[in-house]
Amino acid sequence: MLENQTILVTGVTGQVAFPVAAELAKRNRVLALGRYGREGDRKRVAALGAEPVVGDLAAGEFGEVPDRLDYVLHFAVAKSGDDDFDGDLAMNAEGAGLLMQHCRKAKAFLHCSTTGVYRAKSEGRIDEASPLADHHRHMLSTYSICKIAAEAVVRTTARQLELPTTIARLAVPYGSAGGWPWFHLMMMKGGVPIPIHPSGPNYFPLLHEDDYVSHIEALLGLASVPATIVNWAGSEDTSVEEWCRYLSELTGLEPRFEASETALEPLLLDTSRLQSQVGPSKVHWKEGIRGLVAARNPELLKG
């Protein structure tokens, strides 16, 4: 494991970066970059053993960030969902480039992107060379476009600065902090229909927090110039229908599926690059789902 390193992490208050920072802070100096405008965020981050560092990605304000770091893990993301392309591009794309410029002396830079940059395919799996598209257009109008723009900035900046970089396209993260399956559980509890695309099964590979935390060092080890791109997803093919039915087994709550052309289109991913160079996921999806319910809503478990 990484040890005695100085690591800058962005987006620490979010679902994905929080457990990453918590684990790394046990053996490293972790600097947690954020604006810290919400009450309690600074204390929550400090409780992990990380050091809150104030900065603003969109403004390029990194005065509290030392220019000598060992590694940078960039998880921060803006997804306004209200057509604020200027704001979201400034945060996601420009901010990534400005951060890389400030941290250009680092050993490696990990940029967390999303599999939401891909164009859905009716047949076959999606690998890292597959076509890109505005996959999330119906849910978050700025998201996919801004994440594609951010990747372009990161790729260019990595070459300009000769900064070894990995772009990890994250699928569906979940665990004790929540995730998409937990939102579906809450919809089931409230009797709300769960939208699924009619071209299903609606495959979206789950990746448990224990697995993605354990992948960090290996992903940094893949960093290169030009940037390495890898699908960051679980090894098992999982679908919305399948995990909702398993949630039903655990809780007795029944999912109500509603076919909709505006639901996210399925993304059946090729994870062979990740599995060969980082390793397969270890947490079976059913084990992870049960753990999620036990952590967040134990009262819903049958028996």
**pLDDT tens, position by position, 233-273:** 999 999 999 999 999 999 999 999 999 999 999 999 999 99
- Residue spans of beta strands (DSSP E) within the chain: 6-10, 29-34, 51-54, 71-74, 108-114, 165-170, 172-175, 178-179, 194-196, 206-208, 228-232, 257-259
**Confidence at residue 191, expressed as pLDDT on a 0 to 100 scale:** 97
- Compute the distance between CA of residue 114 and CA of residue 150 in angstroms, rounded to an integer: 11
Spacing of C-alpha 102 from chain mean position: 23
**Confidence at residue 303, expressed as pLDDT on a 0 to 100 scale:** 74
**Confidence at residue 160, expressed as pLDDT on a 0 to 100 scale:** 98
**Confidence at residue 79, expressed as pLDDT on a 0 to 100 scale:** 86
**Confidence at residue 67, expressed as pLDDT on a 0 to 100 scale:** 82
**Confidence at residue 31, expressed as pLDDT on a 0 to 100 scale:** 98
Instruction: Give the residue among 173, 181, 180 at the shortest CA–CA distance from 206.
Output: 173
What average pLDDT does the structure give for the chain?
Answer: 96
CA 203, 208, 211, 212 dihedral sign is positive
**Confidence at residue 39, expressed as pLDDT on a 0 to 100 scale:** 85
267 HSE (CA, 13 A, CB side): 31
**Confidence at residue 37, expressed as pLDDT on a 0 to 100 scale:** 87
Compute the 3-state secondary structure of the chain and give helix, strand, coil in percent, each to the nearest 5. Answer: 35, 20, 45
**Confidence at residue 25, expressed as pLDDT on a 0 to 100 scale:** 98
**Confidence at residue 261, expressed as pLDDT on a 0 to 100 scale:** 95
**Confidence at residue 265, expressed as pLDDT on a 0 to 100 scale:** 97
Segment (H or E) for 189: helix 180-190
Say if domain 6-179+205-236+270-281 classifies as CATH 3.40.50.2300: no
**Confidence at residue 296, expressed as pLDDT on a 0 to 100 scale:** 97
Q: pLDDT below 50 — which residues of the chain?
A: none
Structure-block tokens of residue 291:
């753990």
- Compute the distance between CA of residue 171 and CA of residue 74 in angstroms, rounded to an integer: 16
**Confidence at residue 272, expressed as pLDDT on a 0 to 100 scale:** 98
Q: How far is CA 181 from CA 24, 93, 175, 178, 264, in A?
A: 26, 28, 9, 8, 14
**Confidence at residue 61, expressed as pLDDT on a 0 to 100 scale:** 96
CA 174, 70, 99, 222 dihedral sign is negative
pLDDT by residue (tens digit) across 140-158?
999 999 999 999 999 999 9
